[in-house]
C-alpha cells in the first residue's frame, strides 16, 4: 500500500510517495518541525494527481529497477561527481531526462524535468529514505529560488517572529551561538543555512532543515551530554551520518573529542526532531531578520563584545559556485536567480554585534542573551 508525505515551505510543495511507509515517515519526521510536513492519502497508483502542482518524488526499495538504472547509466555517456559525500555517476539523455547512480550506496535516480517527477530506488529502505529527504529538500530549494529566495550560510534563532542571524566560517561559533540562545528561550530556526527573501519592507527567513552536528564539549558544558547518552543507551537512533565511533563513545560515557584522519572532529548527529525531543529546543518555521551576530571562539579569553563587526562577504551567500555538499546534479535550481544586491543592501542596514565566545558556556550564554536582548530592543 502506498503512503505519502506532503511538504510545504512558503509556496513550494513536494510530495514523497512510497510503498514503504518507513520512507515517508522519515520525511515526515525530518521536515515536520521546520516545514509543514503532513501525512496525506496516497493515490491508488504512482501516476495519480497527488502533487497538487508541486514536485512528486517516488521512493521505493526495488532491486530490479536499481539494476536496470545501473545498466542504463553504464551504457550512456556519463559524468562522475561527488554528491552528498558519495561517488555519483550522472547520465543526461537527449530528451532532458537525467539518470544517476551511487554504486557504493546502491541507489539509483531518474528525474524528468518535464513533469517535475523524481524517482529514487535502492536496495535497502534506510538509504532510500535518507536520499528521498535530501532530494525533497533540493526540490523545495529549486522552487524557493525561483520564487526569489536566496540561501545564506548562517545559523538563526528567533523570538516573537524576530530573527537573529549568526555569520562566520566553520568553527566560528554559529552552532554554539544558536544552541546557547536556544537554551536561553529562543526558538531555533536553522543551525547552518537559511532561506531569505526581501518582501514587504523586511527580510523573511525560512529554515533549511538538516541534521545538526554538536560536539561533545558543547553538549557537556550545557548539561546536555547525559540526557543524550541516556536516550542512546535506551535505544534512541541518531542520524545515520553519525560515525560509529561517536556512538561507541556515547555508550562508554566518554566526552573526549574524536577526530578523523583529515583532522575533522566527529560529533553526535541529530535529526531535526531530536533537537526538540532530546535537547528541549523549540523550532521556528519562519521569522523576520532583525539583527546580525558575528562570533568567534577563543579558549583563553573572556566572553566580550568586540568592535568593528565585519560586513557580509561572498562566502556568506550560497550560490551554485560556492555550494560544496549538494551540487545541482539534477538541475533542480533555476539557471538564473534574482541578484542578491537588494538583499545585501538590506542586511547591511540591520544592527550588528561582534563578540568573543569561550568554552565557558554559562558566561558565553549570558553575554549572548544580553546582546540579543539589546539588539531586539533597538
Task: Tell me the domain boundaries of the chain.
Answer: 3-146, 155-211+271-318+343-377
C-alpha cell belonging to residue 43: 493515490
State how far the Cα of 135 lies from the Cα of 344, in Å rounded to an integer: 28
Instruction: Give pLDDT, residue 27.
Output: 96
C-alpha cell belonging to residue 310: 565585519
Q: Is 27 helix (H, G, I), strand (E, B) or coil?
A: helix
pTM: 0.92
Instruction: Give pLDDT, residue 49.
Output: 46
State how far the Cα of 8 lies from the Cα of 13, in Å rounded to an integer: 5
Question: Count of alpha carbons within 13 Å of 135, Cβ hemisphere only?
Answer: 33
Instruction: Give pLDDT, residue 55.
Output: 92
From residue 169, give the alpha-carbon distance in Å to each of 237, 241, 296, 297, 365: 30, 22, 9, 11, 20
What is the chain's pLDDT, residue by residue, as a tens digit (378 residues)?
Answer: 899 999 999 999 999 999 999 999 999 999 988 998 999 987 654 444 444 568 999 999 999 999 999 999 988 899 999 998 899 999 998 889 999 999 999 999 999 999 889 999 999 999 999 999 999 999 999 999 999 999 999 999 999 999 999 999 888 899 999 999 999 999 999 988 999 999 888 999 999 999 999 999 999 999 999 999 999 999 999 999 999 999 999 999 999 999 999 899 999 999 999 999 999 999 999 999 999 999 999 988 899 999 988 899 888 998 766 666 778 999 998 988 777 888 999 999 999 999 999 989 999 999 999 999 999 988
Question: Bridge partners of 313?
Answer: none
Q: What is the CATH number of domain 155-211+271-318+343-377?
A: 3.40.50.300
Instruction: Give pLDDT, residue 51.
Output: 47
State how far the Cα of 321 lies from the Cα of 289, in Å rounded to an integer: 25
Instruction: Give pLDDT, residue 85.
Output: 87
From residue 125, give the alpha-carbon distance in Å to each of 21, 62, 319: 10, 10, 32
Instruction: Give pLDDT, residue 322.
Output: 66
Instruction: Give pLDDT, residue 312.
Output: 92
Amino acid at each position: 500500500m502506498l503512503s505519502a508525505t506532503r511538504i510545504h515551505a512558503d509556496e513550494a510543495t513536494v510530495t514523497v510517495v512510497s510503498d514503504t511507509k518507513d520512507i515517508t515517515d522519515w520525511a515526515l519526521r525530518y521536515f515536520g518541525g521546520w516545514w509543514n510536513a503532513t501525512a496525506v492519502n496516497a493515490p491508488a497508483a504512482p501516476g495519480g494527481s497527488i502533487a497538487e502542482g508541486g514536485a512528486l518524488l517516488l521512493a521505493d526499495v526495488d532491486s530490479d529497477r536499481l539494476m536496470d538504472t545501473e545498466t542504463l547509466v553504464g551504457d550512456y555517456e556519463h559524468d562522475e561527481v561527488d554528491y552528498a559525500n558519495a561517488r555519483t555517476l550522472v547520465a543526461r539523455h537527449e530528451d532532458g531526462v537525467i539518470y544517476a547512480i551511487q554504486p557504493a550506496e546502491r541507489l539509483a535516480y531518474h528525474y524528468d524535468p518535464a513533469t517535475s517527477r523524481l524517482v529514487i530506488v535502492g536496495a535497502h529502505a534506510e538509504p532510500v529514505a535518507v536520499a528521498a529527504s535530501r532530494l525533497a529538500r533540493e526540490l523545495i530549494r529549486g522552487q524557493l529560488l525561483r520564487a526569489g529566495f536566496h540561501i545564506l550560510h548562517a545559523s538563526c534563532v528567533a523570538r516573537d517572529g524576530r530573527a537573529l542571524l549568526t555569520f562566520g566560517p566553520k568553527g566560528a561559533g554559529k552552532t554554539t551561538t544558536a544552541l546557547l540562545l536556544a537554551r536561553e528561550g529562543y526558538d531555533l530556526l536553522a543551525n547552518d543555512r537559511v532561506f531569505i527573501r526581501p518582501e514587504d519592507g523586511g527580510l523573511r527567513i525560512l529554515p533549511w532543515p538538516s541534521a545538526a552536528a554538536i560536539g561533545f564539549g558543547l553538549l557537556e558544558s550545557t548539561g546536555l551530554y547525559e540526557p543524550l547518552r541516556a536516550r542512546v543507551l535506551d535505544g534512541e537512533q541518531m542520524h545515520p551520518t553519525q560515525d560509529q565511533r561517536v556512538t561507541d563513545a556515547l555508550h562508554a560515557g566518554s566526552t573526549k573529542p574524536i577526530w578523523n584522519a583529515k583532522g575533522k572532529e566527529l560529533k553526535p548527529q541529530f535529526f531535526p526532531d531530536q533537537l526538540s525531543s532530546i535537547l528541549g529546543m523549540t523550532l521556528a518555521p519562519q521569522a523576520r531578520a532583525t539583527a546580525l551576530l558575528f562570533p568567534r571562539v577563543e579558549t583563553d579569553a573572556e566572553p566580550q563584545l568586540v568592535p568593528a563587526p565585519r560586513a557580509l562577504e561572498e562566502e556568506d551567500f550560497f550560490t551554485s559556485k560556492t555550494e560544496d555538499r549538494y551540487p545541482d546534479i539534477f538541475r533542480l535550481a533555476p539557471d538564473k536567480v534574482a541578484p542578491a544586491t537588494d538583499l545585501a543592501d538590506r542586511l547591511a542596514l540591520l544592527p550588528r554585534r561582534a563578540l568573543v565566545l569561550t568554552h565557558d558556556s554559562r558566561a558565553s550564554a549570558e553575554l549572548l542573551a544580553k546582546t540579543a536582548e539589546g539588539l531586539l530592543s533597538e
